[in-house]
Amino acid sequence: MGIRVRSGMLKAGGLVLLVAGWAGWAVGAGAQTAQGAQVSQVAQAAQGAQAGAASGAATPHHAVAARPTAAATRPVTAATPPMGWNSWNYFAGKVTDKDIRDTADLLVSTGMRDAGYVYVNIDDTWEGERDANGKIQSNSKFPDMKALADYVHLKGLKLGIYSSPGAKTCARYEGSLNHEEQDAATYAEWGIDYLKYDLCSYGGVMRAQFPNDPAAQNKMMREAYEKMHQAIVKTGRPMVYSLCQYGWDSVWEWGPQVGANLWRTTGDISANFDRMSLIGRSQAGLAKYAAPGHWNDPDMLEVGNGKLTHDENVTHMTLWAMLAAPLIAGNNLTEMKPEIAAILMNKEAIAIDQDALGKQGDRIYAEGPVEIWAKPLTGGRKALAIYNFGETASDMHGIGLHLKEAGLPAHVTARDVWAAKDLGKITDAYKVTVPKHGVVLLVVR
Ligand code: GAL
């Protein structure tokens, strides 16, 4: 997927405000979503029936918001972008039961759970063999999945797991092909709250069955995703359903139809600025496909991983928040530095991501390495991000804020999120130095 960096003006589509009323500047994710999300029309009835049932003592607040209907009040799964942690980006194939328990402990003690990071997701390599009845077993790294789920739930967290519609996962462990209902039932029995379903070897099945017929391959893929969706619904247990097929076949156009709460829009992220920023920038134009219950997923966070600098980590967090992307941390919490914790737990950045309006941001202007993105927020506010993807600091070289293109009046009241500073009234003439690979994030009204 190529990035579309252009000189000149790019209009963001659909900057329409649905909610009036001032929501305040520095509102944490919990407070924002507690006000109730504007939810989509695609209710997941069966999932809704037991929403929240999985949570333990401290019920996480952000994941499910009530939707008042004439008939009943039905919660929407993933009313705001899911937040949590996933094992792949740091632990990859080495992840163990102990790593998950340590992570659960640390999500609580560091404050991450209370900041909204409630899902603890085990990625690939937990899978063992099937027993004589075809029931999937976890492997020796995960001696007792039910006990692990109980442990995680007692911490007020939720547990996620991973599988594939193919016979093998991407790491060549056991997939769910021809065992979909059985696997969903097993996950429900264990107490699983989130499933990432990764295409992997099923791509080969599709190609073998319909060589040179992409339309027929696509139909097979959709049916495979729908099949697991129905299997989850049948369990009666709410599970966030996360599609991973690398953004093929414009998944954002049909993801909701196969029950997806989120769908990967790209290939894998890695912990370097080029890959991370390429993915972030390439999301321009996808805003209209995001809505409560249905999110574009540019992959999990690498904040705190690899050699990302402070400014690069801040840019990463800002890109994802502006995209209303799922915030699934991927770092090793046992060695999280305070600087990384501060970025991941910045309340105002999280509130932008989790804003109850459920609107994804889009690029409104680009000139060379400088890009301005806007995201509509509740209360008539907007988040504006001024990115500098270049190799030297930029004083914006005469680039204005493009308030008009963001649907804003000529004078706005602004707050600088990362500087935690109220700026008072500003106009298009606002100037700031944006560091190399850095960003200035404003909330304006
Ligand atoms: C990839 C996927 C990664 C990770 C990995 C596990 O296909 O994109 O996020 O899940 O498989 O094998």
Per-residue model confidence as pLDDT tens digits over 128-165: 999 999 999 999 999 999 999 999 999 999 999 999 99
> Whole-number mean pLDDT of the chain?
87
How far apart CA 94 and CA 204 sit, in angstroms, is 26
| Secondary element (H or E) of residue 85 | strand 83-86
Closest C-alpha to ligand 1, atom 1: 170
Question: What does the pLDDT read at residue 46?
Answer: 31
Portion of the chain with pLDDT greater than 70, in percent:
83
Mean pLDDT, residues 289-293 taken together:
98
Does 37 score more than 60 pLDDT? no
Burial of 40 (0-12, 13-18, 19+ CB in 10 A): middle
Q: How far does residue 321's CA lie from ligand 1's centre (Å)?
A: 22
pLDDT band, very low/low/confident/very high, at 327 (cuts 50, 70, 90): very high
Distance of CA 284 from the midpoint of ligand 1 (Å): 23
Least confident of 20-29, 120-129, 133-142, 301-310: 20-29
Query: Would the pLDDT of 65 be above 60?
Result: no
Cα(154) to centroid(ligand 1), Å? 28
Beta carbon of 43 within 6 Å of any ligand 1 atom: no
Give the pLDDT confidence score for residue 250 in this predicted structure. 98
The pLDDT, as a whole number, for residue 416 is 98
Q: What is the pLDDT of residue 35?
A: 27
Paired residues of 174 in beta bridges? 168
Query: Catalytic residue numbers?
Result: 198, 268
Q: Which atom of ligand 1 is nearest to the CA of 169?
A: 12
Instruction: Tell me which residue has tokens 């507690």.
Output: 34
Determine if ligand 1 sits within 6 Å of the CB of residue 5.
Answer: no
Containing H/E element for 421?
Answer: strand 421-426
C-beta of residue 124 within 8 angstroms of C-beta of residue 84 = no
Can you tell me which atom of ligand 1 is nearest the CA of 264?
Answer: 8
> Is residue 197 within 8 Å of 161, Cβ to Cβ?
no
Mean pLDDT computed over 169-198: 98
Residue 431's beta-bridge partner residues?
Answer: none
* Alpha carbon separation from 206 to 169, 203, 383 (Å, rounded): 15, 5, 42
Residue 124 CA, ligand 1 centroid: distance in Å = 7
For residues 27 and 308, the answer to whether their CB atoms sit within 8 Å is no
Structure confidence at residue 396 as a pLDDT band (50, 70, 90): confident
The answer on pLDDT for 68 being more than 60 is no
Q: Rounded to whole angstroms, how far apart are CA atoms 48 and 46?
A: 5
pLDDT band, very low/low/confident/very high, at 398 (cuts 50, 70, 90): confident
Is 270's C-beta closer than 6 angstroms to any atom of ligand 1? no
Ligand 1 neighbour 127 (Cβ under 6 A): no
